Amino acid sequence: MTAYNETAVTLAASAARGTSGTGTAVDLGVCTMARLVLACSAVSGTGSPTLTVTVQTSPDQLAWTTATAFTARTTVGTQEINVAGCSRYVRAIWTIAGTGPSFTFGVSGSAFVVYCSPTDLYGLAIPQRALADITADTMARAIKSASEDLDGRFNRRYTFPLVSWSTELTQHAAELAAFTCLTTRGTSLDGQDWDVLKDIRDSARSWAKGVGNKSIDPPGIVDSTATVDEAGPVMYTNTKRGWGT
């Protein structure tokens, strides 16, 4: 069973493989974050057989860039990674080395709708240097948490998942995610700076609450029922009958 904004993805079905290869591209639609698991259930061969799996992303399936990579495997086991900032398409590529190697493995997981990317955190929320020691996995988890935090405050208004949204929503998601990153790591901010950070967090949550109760109507937000008007009540009248003056 998947969550309200979650899509199951398989980048490589579990199978025995002895040579390097590339998986089929998967269309994530509006999802830009993925939680992926590399599950390796069997290894054989000599000469230190090694499996290296990389996840690539592309907006058009023409130019591919590396999104993340699993730790190289020499034994059976699993590894989970979280990656945010994906383009529309993702795929897995694997390199198998050794003498007569064989790895039985698969790469699968879930894709999620989130409202900001890692670059949005230091583009819209806080300076990049403040996140210098935050891992990509931690940042992705914070982005997912921030998006769900906002969803929970306006979920009575929209049908999820959202299919498009405003820059304002992106900024508030980035602010919440940045706050989570810093509190997870721990921070040496003095009292005044810490108060500012908390004010930014509280402002983002207050904004989302206002969206939920329709006191704030941000442009550009489209949910999964685009033909339904969630902006507020609509009044219709019959044709004017000409009664009175």
Q: Which of 89, 112, 135 is the last residue before a domain boundary?
A: 112
Residue 34's domain comprises 6-112
pLDDT in tens, 179-223: 998 887 666 555 556 677 888 899 999 999 999 999 999 989 999
Q: What confidence score (pLDDT) does residue 174 get?
A: 96
The total of structural domains in the chain comes to 2
89-112 and 77-84 as β-strands: parallel, antiparallel, unpaired? unpaired
Q: What confidence score (pLDDT) does residue 71 get?
A: 97
Whether 124 and 102 share a structural domain: no
Using the predicted structure, report yes or no on whether residue 82 has a pLDDT greater than 70: yes
Tell me how many degrees the CA angle 51-140-136 measures, rounded to the nearest 5: 55
Residue 235 belongs to a domain: no
Whether 124 and 203 share a structural domain: yes
CA gap 110, 118 in Å, rounded: 18
The model's confidence at residue 233, banded by pLDDT at 50, 70 and 90, is very low
CA gap 49, 72 in Å, rounded: 10
Whether 10 and 85 share a structural domain: yes
Whether 108 and 130 share a structural domain: no
Whether 102 and 123 share a structural domain: no
Choose among 93, 94, 92, 90: nearest CA to 111. 90
Residue 230 belongs to a domain: no
Q: What confidence score (pLDDT) does residue 236 get?
A: 44
Residue 240 belongs to a domain: no
Residue 193 belongs to a domain: yes
Whether 46 and 80 share a structural domain: yes
The model's confidence at residue 231, banded by pLDDT at 50, 70 and 90, is very low
Contact 201, 172 (CB under 8 A): no
Looking at residues 153-179, what average pLDDT do you find?
A: 93
pLDDT in tens, 114-135: 999 999 998 898 888 888 889 9
